[in-house]
Amino acid sequence: MNAYDEYMKGIVKPMREELTSNGFTELTTGEEVESFMNELNDTAFFVINSVCGCAAGLARPSAVQAVIESEKKPANVMTVFAGQDKEATATLREYLADFPPSSPSMAVFKGKEVVGFIPREQIEGSTPEDIKARIQSIFAQM
């Protein structure tokens, strides 16, 4: 691992932990994503995490609060980290082929079907309450 990779690993650690310490399962390889998706028969909420402060700083806490406060929740809450776990993110994006790559972003799956997608454009510049409401609206339709 080069110095840049080591530096970034330290920088993103709290960004990862903001989700993982709140019950999100992080997938870091393409094989992990493929295995999870192959076995997915119920619902899953994915946060495609990102370093971007303007949107990711809103996305993570909004996602956490949406899960905590929702009556209807997905069976699985998952995350991949764009720009860090590139293979995992690329593999997940194969399941999101109808949507342009966007990070941060969020997707809700029912089985392998995407039933909701929130791109960066709907996160950046929004309030945490608005983002949480968008997520919860998708959860309610699962």
To the query of whether residue 114 is one of the catalytic residues in this protein, the response is: no
User: Quick one: tokens of 62?
Assistant: 């909004």
Catalytic pick among 19, 52, 56, 96: 52
Clarify whether 54 is annotated catalytic: yes
Q: Which of 6, 14, 42, 54 is catalytic?
A: 54
The separation between CA 38 and the C-alpha centre of its own chain, rounded to angstroms, equals 18
Task: Count CB neighbours of 122 within 10 A.
Answer: 17
Burial, 39: exposed, middle or buried (Cβ in 10 Å; 0-12, 13-18, 19+)? exposed
Closest by Cα among 114, 106, 119, 105 to 142: 114
- Active-site annotation, residues: 52, 54
